[in-house]
Homo-oligomer: A and B are copies of this chain.
Amino acid sequence: MARTGGTTRAATAAVDSLDFALDRGSPVPLYYQLAQQLEAAIEHGALAPGNLLGNEIDLSTRLGLSRPTVRQAIQSLVDKGLLVRRRGVGTQVVHSQVKRPLELSSLYDDLESAGQGPTTQVVRNEREPASPDVAAALGIAEGSEVIVLERLRLTHGQPVALLCNYLPATLLELDSARLESTGLYRMMRTAGITLHSAHQTIGARSATAEEAARLDEEEGAALLTMQRTAYDDTGRPVEYGTHIYRASRYAFDFQLLVRP
């Protein structure tokens, strides 16, 4: 029986039949344009899991790009976990049970993007002298002025989390109204603070009577706790937070990539 396409083998270079639109006039780097279009092709199914990408040389000549440029595009998708390279074999689309490597930022402004219609109530937004542990976490002098932020997160009108954050008072102004609509991290970004890294600790404990009351739980109910210190790209701590979540209504959910 005759076959028409190049699909005789189980996995063939399906890229051959794809069109890529590269705009050399664009300020967007060529490798990035290519990476985006490859990612789109994968997500949208034009490049199916297991498909070989075809060798880099051919691809680069076909696209009118140099090989390093094509490699840079491919590498960025490998880093995202969408592609796998095997020496002597080729590059294939990951046979993805693997959902798209969820933005790690979801661990930052958690529920923000969860699409559950989360709401935030700013319960407290004041300045006060730093307590010893807050000062230690932020690397500032004890008694320095810090912004104290207390927020209640709700989904479907039900409380989910109680977030308490501390920021050096000199960093920015925090308008409560905007905080409720925009989120803390977006406000910091807007203020020119570029986040670089964060250290997090996730634990659990039983709810105290007061916590239970504020979160609409029973005393002794299991709570998830998270403490986080975030740093900007100079290594300066810019935020310290201690959060508690109702374990009955929330869990941390994320993807890990194994670095080779």
| Residues of A198-224 whose CB lies within 8 A of B | 198-206, 220-224
Q: Does B203 lie within 8 Å of A256, measured CB to CB? A: no
Q: Does B256 lie within 8 Å of A107, measured CB to CB? A: yes
Chain A 88-106 near chain B by CB (<8 Å), digits 1 or 0: 0000001111110100110
Q: Is A124 an interface residue (CB 8 A)?
A: no
CA distance A11 to B210 in the complex (A): 50
Chain A 224-245 near chain B by CB (<8 Å), digits 1 or 0: 1000010101111100000000
Q: Does A255 lie within 8 Å of B197, measured CB to CB? A: yes
CA distance A141 to B229 in the complex (A): 44
Nearest B-chain residue to A252, judged by Cβ? B202
Chain A 176-207 near chain B by CB (<8 Å), digits 1 or 0: 00000000000000000001111111111110
28 chain-A/chain-B pairs, Cβ below 8 angstroms: A49-B235, A95-B236, A96-B235, A97-B139, A97-B236, A98-B196, A101-B197, A104-B257, A104-B259, A105-B258, A195-B258, A196-B257, A197-B256, A197-B257, A198-B256, A199-B254, A199-B255, A200-B255, A201-B252, A201-B253, A202-B251, A203-B251, A203-B252, A204-B223, A205-B248, A220-B220, A222-B222, A222-B223
Q: Is A149 an interface residue (CB 8 A)?
A: no
Question: Which of A105, A202, A250, A258 is packed against the most chain B CB atoms within 10 Å?
Answer: A258
Q: Is A81 an interface residue (CB 8 A)?
A: yes
Contact A235 B203, CB 8 Å, known A196-B258, A198-B255, A258-B197: no
Query: Number of A residues whose C-beta is below 8 Å from B?
Result: 53
Q: Is A14 an interface residue (CB 8 A)?
A: no
A residues neighboring B (CB under 8 Å):
49-50, 68, 81, 84, 94-99, 101, 104-105, 107-108, 139, 195-206, 220-224, 229, 231, 233-237, 247-248, 250-259
Residues of B contacting A203 in the complex (Cβ-Cβ under 8 angstroms) = 224, 247, 250-252
Q: Does B139 lie within 8 Å of A196, measured CB to CB? A: no
Other than the known A198-B258, A199-B256, A205-B248, what 9 A-B pairs have Cβ atoms closer than 8 Å?
A: A84-B233, A94-B233, A95-B235, A95-B236, A98-B235, A107-B256, A199-B255, A204-B247, A222-B223
